[in-house]
Amino acid sequence: MQHYSDEKNRAGMSVLFMVVQMMVLGVVYIIVYTSFVAVGYAIKEYSVSAAMYIPVVAVLIIFPVLLYKYRQMFSAGKMLSAFVWMMATASLVIVLLYVYVAQLIP
């Protein structure tokens, strides 16, 4: 007869959370890539400044740092908060990049 082990459940949830983080990172990086392409198109066609890359590069650098912080939060026992913050941040980043690209190209 097996006994309930909270450590096995915690380890399994940690692995599951990391897999979900990798999927979310992949989705956000797809949006970042399309934003890079759109900004490049705007620079070529509409002669906008190359400084328009700055918000996209900022997302490229900051988002993995946030995911690391959420993994630390998850490991500290705040599992639901970490998941909600991760999904909310990813959604916000995607929407903000879409709005940025939409106003960039007339």
Output the pLDDT for position 22: 98
Question: Residue 4: which H helix or E strand, with range?
Answer: none
Which pTM does this prediction carry? 0.89
* Per-residue pLDDT tens over the stretch 35-61: 999 999 999 999 889 999 999 999 999
Tokens 């909310």 locate to 88
Long-range CB contact pairs, 94-103, < 8 A, 24+: 94/27, 94/28, 94/31, 97/31, 97/32, 97/35, 97/55, 97/56, 97/59, 98/31, 100/35, 100/55, 100/56, 101/34, 101/35, 101/38, 101/39
Kindly indicate the confidence band of residue 7, based on its pLDDT and cuts at 50, 70 and 90. confident
Whether 27 shows a pLDDT value over 70: the answer reads yes
Output the pLDDT for position 104: 87
